[in-house]
Amino acid sequence: MENQDSPVVLAGSMELLDGTEKDLGEYLGGVTLVVNTASKCGLTPQFEGLQKIYSENHDRGFTVLGFPANDFMEQEPGTGEEIAEFCQKNYGVEFPMFAKTSVVGDEANPLFAELADQSEQPEWNFAKYLIDREGRFIRKFPAPTDPADDEVIAAIDSALG
């Protein structure tokens, strides 16, 4: 399932919601689910499922990386501080959340541009990209796919080994 010839997608650094820079290479060695998020979307309750799979698998080397984006019907209008407060207050989000960014088209950040090259760009908020321990793309799950879906859990378990 993994393509050893595919480029590493977890490269470079990006800004977290609190304004600090985070080297994406720090996530190499673990399995990562990259998700574009929005707090005013019909799929926003997926934060609950994302937090649950993060909590249940974090000790096994799994993390979720959230990337708030205002690309779809302006469903992420908040500032970084507002997004952080919303995610913590409503869903108890503990996984890393990055600064608001763009995830589609010419304005997409480098991570999502690379994911689009290897798969496809997000079709909506909460598209999920599974990344292996070497930082390579494994599989994309469409936005409506619940994080607790059996296919998502099986793919994470398989990647974790």
In angstroms, the Cα distances linking 37 to 60, 62, 71, 74, 75 are 24, 18, 10, 12, 9
Catalytic residue among 41, 84, 113, 160: 41
Q: Are strands 62-68 and 31-37 parallel, antiparallel or unpaired?
A: parallel
Using CA atoms, how far apart are residues 11 and 34, in angstroms rounded to an integer?
Answer: 13
In angstroms, the Cα distances linking 62 to 11, 33, 101, 104, 124 are 17, 8, 23, 25, 24
Task: Retrieve residue 148's tokens.
Answer: 């607790």
The yes-or-no answer on residue 41 being catalytic is: yes
Catalytic residue annotation: 41
